[in-house]
Every structure is written in C-alpha cells, then in structure tokens.
Amino acid sequence: MSLVGLAFVVFGAIMEPLWVIGLKKIDQTHKWYWYAFTILFIYLSPMSIAFAMGEGMSVGVAYSIWTGLGSVFAMIVGYLLFKERVDRIKVFLVALIIIGVTGLELSSVMV
C-alpha cells in the first residue's frame, strides 16, 4: 500500500465531518453558501477514497479506514464546535476504532 493512497483516505476522512457540519448549518440558516459548502465536501470525501483505491489500496481496508477515522473526526468536531458530551466510554470506544484502523493498516503492509 502506498503512502499516497493512505493520504487520500485520511483526507477523505477529514472531509466527512465537514459536510455533516454543512448539513447542520443548512438546517440552521438556509443560506446558499452552506449548500455549496456541503455539496463540495460530499463530493470530495468519497472521491478521495476512489483515488486511494486507484493507488492500490483494497476496497475493504480503504473503506474501513475512511469510515473509522471519519467517525473519530466527527466526534472531535461535535465536541469542539457543538459542545457535545464526551465521556470515558466514548473515548474508550474511539480508541478501539483507532486500534482497529491501525491494525488494518499494519495487516495490509505485512501481507
């Protein structure tokens, strides 16, 4: 697996919470620029995973990393921007996601 492919997946995972923020802002404001923002990131996020697979990353690994990291980033954004509650159980479960994603990455490198 290439580092370029991994970079694409991480970029896509970062884009995930951005379009979710856009959806929340559309609901709150109904401003045209939030629609444009949301559409842009809804496009960029899955396109980055497509580029990662074009770099040789397998579908299962790319999708698992993308969704796992996207979940982690969404939780962080929810905490920072929307003051959502984060407790020990959530942190523990997010740590399990990170461990799982790291294990997937390592297993694909070792094979």
pLDDT in tens, 15-36: 999 999 999 899 999 999 999 9
Mean pLDDT of the chain: 89
- What is the residue range of 67's domain? 3-110
Categorize the per-residue pLDDT at 1 as very low, low, confident or very high, splitting at 50, 70 and 90: low
Q: CB of 58 within 8 A of CB of 108?
A: yes
pLDDT(42) > 90: yes
Q: Please report the pLDDT score of residue 62 as a whole number.
A: 87
Alpha carbons 27 and 30: distance in angstroms, whole number: 6
Categorize the per-residue pLDDT at 111 as very low, low, confident or very high, splitting at 50, 70 and 90: low
> How many distinct structural domains can be found in the chain?
1
